[in-house]
Amino acid sequence: MDESNPMLVLASASPRRRELLGLLGVKFEVMEAGVVEQEDGAMEPRAMVLHNAALKAAWVCARRPGAWVLAADTAVALPDAGVMAAGASGMGKDLVESLKGSGGFAGEVLNKPRDMEEAREMLRKLSGRTHVVYTGVCLWRRPGGAESGEVRAKSGERRGESGEEETSGRLGEASLSGCSKTAPLPPEGAVEMTHCETSEVTFQVLDEARIEAYLARVNPLDKAGAYGIQEGRELILARYAGSFSNIMGLPLEWVAARLQELTLLPGGAVPSVEDWRFRDDSRPSFDKPLHPPA
């Protein structure tokens, strides 16, 4: 590989991530990571998606030295009913903070449903409520010819652009509380960028007929939370706040900024995938009663 012109490899078989990355106009290859992901409904969602993204990035990095490897993982997190009853108000940071709870994660992670009945049950749970979509992203590069890295239980944190602590990519046990296994770390000498993006989604109140209409249109079995915002959203979506592409599975704004820093992508505006019919920047109270769709 030409070290002066490294290849970008997407460590995902997701058609949605391929579509989103393709919007940037950057050349890339696809290599699906052969890993077993953590899918524990009681696990803290930020830790889980960062863990899984690191697993994918490490697997592909070991096989593509010299390439930039982009890996991501997405989860849907629904606050406990008790959290809502306690009056956790507002979308955005308030909602994300309420999910953490005083004694650990105060909610439920909805991963990909195992069958159509579980998909129906997930949509029933999401009906009329606001949930948080988490996407963990790793952009790593192992120098060509370097030895593969070992799994190490070491952690570190750095300050993100917002001034808040952000996991740096050295994702050991200390930074991944709630994971049953230690996430792999990049090899020594590797360049690493790691990020977790959150968006909020509020569903319409869904009756059984609406759920069946949605499932007749969309395959829910390969989607966290049994839905995909990119198709059929008029049947289920009331509003959303934050990055729309993050809800689809890859926060384009963050990815584009990092690729531009690496000169893998020319500077300029990032293509928008927003749907302004549903975007809500006012971040209203997430427990405001919603009316059933007409």
- For the annotated catalytic residues, the residue numbers are 73
Q: What are the two backbone dihedrals, phi and then psi, of residue 130, each rounded to the nearest 5 degrees?
A: -105, 135
CA dist 246 and 52 (Å) reads 16
CA atoms within 13 A on the CB side of 249: 27
CA dist 250 and 85 (Å) reads 32
CA dist 61 and 83 (Å) reads 40
CA dist 235 and 237 (Å) reads 6
CA dist 10 and 23 (Å) reads 14
